A and B are shown apart, each in its own frame.
Chain A
């Protein structure tokens, strides 16, 4: 533990020094393949827009046996060619029922349809009552949770989670934990970090480790801690394996 604190302290020192002294030479990386300024990921923009699209709530649904439905759709020739958006961002306002601990899931609609042998009914299990052949997105039927007028109809968030996790578990494919699909929204650290005025570098490191307990342990198993040469970029030490962070550079006691 002492080792980590020392090393991270050194890191902090380096960082803080480079900020504090104005004449310290800052490292500038040149981007050899800059993104053209006009470029935007079009499918992502489209997906974000689609996520906000409102669908009229389907009150009554046409229920049928899932296997019969699958056969019916096969006969009708409904399949992967009918997919309108292959890429989606699951960011409907119905999903954010509490607060955004996680970012939205980016869902590969086409890829999922393909792996499920174009069997659309696994997710699109019902249709509106008056048009049994119509395939609507989840949020046409699943909207707000706990709607007393449609008791028993689960909300959109639960519909997603139950279907995704259920299927991933059953097939033992695809992520089950939260961060397998979601990016974690990093909370505002200004509120979380509690430090005295003018903290020492050690205090800063200790404060980081207060929450990121595993980060310290992980660091000890990484090359940043264990690496022992060779040092191909260090003059005269090109093939020498005596030096390195695991031996006599920086973090050794």
Chain B
């Protein structure tokens, strides 16, 4: 029987490893987005900054009393982010440079909360499945499964999930729930959408809302820019925005149009599905070793 030398053996594994680097049937990433989930359309041009949505959200989710009450307009002096104590916040911008008759700049108010992405990066990053996309559209958080690793907070492109740092014993990740319990009931609506006095938030099915948004833009092209933020952003979100200016001007991040989990999960699955990542690593290493050894031997001679 022919003796395989150590070098030959290692080199062959190296070759095998590299050849597996481009598997022919690499698993194509598949979106798990629900077909026509519940969604909300926020019309920034309608919002009057009354903060009633914050109030309703606070009541509906039994959140703690805020430091400044909901009538207080001084909160607009700084830009706020959703937190563990407020799942939605309204911010004020003077970015559109529109003025009233007396030359005062006209404000634009924008409500922010979890976007309930169609393919949520937070759920994809969650290693225990505590965050999951529900068929009705909500990205639901199950505190019982959460181990507090906070990967979701890092993964979310909108920097939404907040963590109860003050709570040492049973800390939770906190974010807008899409009023999961309320919308699961027949005819139920999110608290913020039902309280909003001007219907700046329209609740409905995502496809209907996209149509409504398109109609509004078409009927009043002077009022809106021709873009629905959330239609394509990060592969689509359940909270959609139409506005008179790019949402990036209103504190929204500029995000890619493809689902975030598509890239990360493709890498992950190709690496881990076949469990061959160690083989690649050792293959490459052994290849390098073999070459080096060869060189050494050559030098010795």
Answer whether A and B are interacting partners: yes
Q: Which residues of A come within 8 Å of B, CB atoms?
A: 97-98, 101, 145-146, 148, 151-152, 154-155, 157-158, 161-162, 165, 169, 172, 176, 178, 211
Q: Does B56 contact A (CB under 8 A)?
A: yes
A145 to B195, CA, bound (A): 11
Do the beta carbons of B46 and A146 come within 8 Å of each other?
A: no
* Chain A residues positioned under 8 Å from B199 (CB to CB): 145, 154-155, 157-158, 162
Return chain B residues, CB-CB under 8 Å to A158.
46, 196-199
Q: Is the CB of A165 within 8 A of B191?
A: no
C-alpha gap A97/B182 in the complex (Å): 14
B215 close to A (CB within 8 Å): yes
Pick from B101, B193, B195, B212: contact of A152, CB under 8 Å: B212
B198 touches A165 (CB 8 A): yes
B81-89, B161-169, B203-211 - the one binding chain A: B203-211
List the A side residues contacting B69 at CB < 8 Å. Answer: 211
- B15 part of interface (Cβ distance < 8 Å): no
A167 to chain B, nearest CB (A): 13
Q: Residues of B contacting A157 with CB < 8 Å? A: 197, 199
B174 within 8 A of A: no
Are A146 and B101 interface neighbours, CB within 8 A?
no
Which residue on B lies nearest to A210, using beta carbons? Answer: B65
Is the CB–CB distance between A97 and B195 below 8 Å? yes
Nearest chain-A residue to B213 (Cβ)? A152
Complex interface: chain A residues within 8 A of B202 (CB): 145-146
Bound CA span A182–B146, Å: 44
Bound-state CA distance A178–B49 (Å) is: 11
Chain A residues with CB under 8 Å of B216's CB are 152
Q: Does B48 contact A (CB under 8 A)?
A: yes
Separation of A23 and B138 alpha carbons in the complex (Å): 64
CA distance A146 to B201 in the complex (A): 10
Residues of A within 8 A of B194 (CB): 97-98, 145
Contact A148 B191 (CB under 8 A): no
13 examples of A-B residue contacts, CB within 8 angstroms? A98-B194, A146-B189, A146-B193, A146-B202, A148-B204, A148-B205, A148-B208, A151-B208, A151-B209, A151-B211, A161-B48, A162-B199, A172-B101
The reply to whether the CB of B296 lies closer than 8 angstroms to some CB of chain A is: no
Asked whether, in the complex, the Cβ of B204 is within 8 Å of the Cβ of A151, the reply is yes
B175 adjacent to chain A (CB < 8 Å) = no
In the assembled complex, the Cα of A155 lies from the Cα of B102 at a distance in Å of: 32
Task: Return the CB mask of B50-66 against A: 1 if under 8 Å, else 0.
Answer: 10100110000000000
In the complex, which of the residues B102, B195, B197, B203 contacts A146, with contact meaning CB atoms closer than 8 Å?
B203
- Report A67 CB to chain B, min CB distance, Å: 17
CA distance A101 to B53 in the complex (A): 12
- B196 cross-chain contacts in A, Cβ below 8 A: 158
Q: How far is the CB of A213 from chain B (nearest CB, A)?
A: 8
> Is B100's beta carbon under 8 Å from chain A?
yes
User: Bound state CA distance, A152 and B43, in angstroms?
Assistant: 12
Shortest Cβ distance from residue A187 to the other chain B in the assembled complex, whole angstroms: 11
Partner of A162, one of B46, B193, B208: B46
Q: Is the CB of A101 within 8 A of B198?
A: no
User: Separation in Å of the B124 CB from the closest CB of chain A?
Assistant: 30
Q: Residue of B at shortest CB range from A212?
A: B69
Beyond the given pairs A97-B195, A158-B196, 18 more chain A to chain B contacts, judged by CB atoms under 8 angstroms and listed by A's residue number, are A98-B56, A98-B191, A145-B194, A145-B202, A145-B203, A146-B204, A148-B205, A151-B204, A151-B211, A152-B215, A155-B199, A157-B199, A158-B198, A161-B197, A162-B199, A165-B48, A165-B198, A211-B69
Set of chain A residues within 8 Å of B211, measured between Cβ atoms: 151
A101: chain B residues at CB < 8 Å are: 52, 55
CB distance from A156 to the nearest CB of B (A): 10
Chain A residue numbers with a CB within 8 Å of B101 are 172
Closest 4 CB pairs of A and B: A158-B199, A98-B195, A161-B197, A161-B198
With CB as the reference atom, state the residue of chain A lying closest to B48.
A165
Q: Distance (Å) between the CB of B220 and the closest chain A CB?
A: 12
Which residues of B lie under 8 Å from residue A176 when comparing CB positions? 48
CA separation between A97 and B189, bound complex, in Å?
10
**Chain A residue at smallest Cβ distance from B55:** A101
CA distance A123 to B198 in the complex (A): 16
* A222 CA to B297 CA, complexed, in Å: 98
Q: Whole-angstrom distance between the alpha carbons of A169 and B49 in the complex?
A: 14
What's the least CB distance linking B80 to chain A, in Å? Answer: 20
Residue with the greatest number of chain A CB neighbours at <10 A, chosen from B52, B199, B203: B199
Measured in the bound complex, the distance between the Cα atoms of B202 and A152 in whole Å is 9
> Which A residues are in CB contact (< 8 Å) with B56?
98
Shortest CB-to-CB span from B198 to chain A, Å, is 5
Instruction: Quote the shortest CB–CB distance from A93 to chain B (angstroms).
Output: 14
Residues of A close to B193: CB separation below 8 A? 146
Check A172 against B100 for contact (C-beta < 8 Å).
yes
- List B residues 172-196 near A (Cβ within 8 Å): 189, 191, 193-196
